[in-house]
Amino acid sequence: MWIDTHCHLDAGEFAGEYDAVAESAARHGVSKIVIPAVGRGNFATVAALASRNAGCCYALGIHPLFVPQAGDDDLQALRMAVQAALADPCFVAVGEIGLDFFVPALRETALREKQERFYAEQLKIARDHGLPVLLHVRRSQDIILKYLRRIGVPGGIAHAFNGSFQQAGEFIRLGFRLGFGGAMTFTRARQIRRLAAELPEQALVLETDAPDIAPAWIHPQRNSPEQLPRIGEVLAQLRHMPVDAIAQLTSDNARSILPRLAMLA
């Protein structure tokens, strides 16, 4: 059985077939799917998807790409939503949060500062509730790490990890797992494949990031969580391990970093 630690199942690309996509993933051996929120507008949607699809769970947070249009009232709404969601077994983490300095508009001073403030405030919400975080890290590894050292959260996942070995080591030291997915399936992605092959095995979790980051064999079509086992096979090849050992390892790692997910049947 496999765990997809990052899938935007509520995305418009899946309109009209949300439940069918979740069911198909389950038939392909994906026993759990973590659905992160991107902003206040989809908190209820991700929670509803998780409640009606066995094996789905969710996180609540404001994604860096949605920070420009968010206000301080959204942070307040998030804090209240997180507090309320603690009573919901399907709620597992704060996310997706982080910093995106790849998108040019988001790099300008005012938005850069706003992103950092929203990221820090959301780390505090996670810390205050003892929750792990799901991190979006694009061209921002070192600043992401700086805040993690300052605001101690109980670990989490750096999703779609694409940093250096040194940065990976620092995430691991801070109690984080690193998410690997479709990017690893491209032979030209040398650095990501080297990381996937050589990082300590306790650090690895799998994800699809569907509908984005389609693996090589379906790129550029829509990605979906049923691709996770084949992505896992690539990791097994890279690490010269049996596929079922990779499934077990990455699922154990996901459960240990997301304790509320581990409590789900």
User: Nearer to Zn ion by C-beta: 55 or 179?
Assistant: 179
Could you tell me which residues come within 8 angstroms of residue 5 by beta carbon, excluding any fewer than 6 positions away?
34, 134, 157, 159, 177, 179, 205, 206, 207, 254, 258
Binding mask 82-101 for Zn ion (x = CB under 5 A): --------------x-----
User: Nearer to Zn ion by C-beta: 96 or 100?
Assistant: 96
Footprint (CB under 5 A) of Zn ion, residues 43-72: none
User: Nearer to Zn ion by C-beta: 236 or 250?
Assistant: 250
The residue count for binding Zn ion (CB under 5 A) is: 1
| Closest separation in Å from C-beta 111 to Zn ion | 19
Place of tokens 């509320």: 260
User: Nearer to Zn ion by C-beta: 15 or 110?
Assistant: 15
Cβ burial of 203 (10 Å; 0-12, 13-18, 19+) is buried
Instruction: Tell me the C-alpha distance between 179 and 162, whole Å.
Output: 9
**147: its two tokens:** 């805040």
What one-character-per-residue DSSP string does 30-42 give? EEEEEEE--SGGG
| Closest separation in Å from C-beta 157 to Zn ion | 11
Footprint (CB under 5 A) of Zn ion, residues 136-175: none
CA dihedral over 5, 250, 236, 21, signed as positive or negative = negative
Binding mask 222-261 for Zn ion (x = CB under 5 A): ----------------------------------------
179 near 205, Cβ under 8 Å?
yes
Closest CB to Zn ion: residue number: 96
Footprint (CB under 5 A) of Zn ion, residues 102-141: none
User: Nearer to Zn ion by C-beta: 96 or 226?
Assistant: 96
| Closest separation in Å from C-beta 36 to Zn ion | 6
User: Nearer to Zn ion by C-beta: 135 or 236?
Assistant: 135
Instruction: Tell me the C-alpha distance between 251 and 129, whole Å.
Output: 24
| Closest separation in Å from C-beta 265 to Zn ion | 25
User: Nearer to Zn ion by C-beta: 39 or 236?
Assistant: 39
| Closest separation in Å from C-beta 241 to Zn ion | 27
| Closest separation in Å from C-beta 58 to Zn ion | 12
Place of tokens 């250096």: 164
| Closest separation in Å from C-beta 16 to Zn ion | 21
- Give the footprint of Zn ion on this chain (CB under 5 A): 96
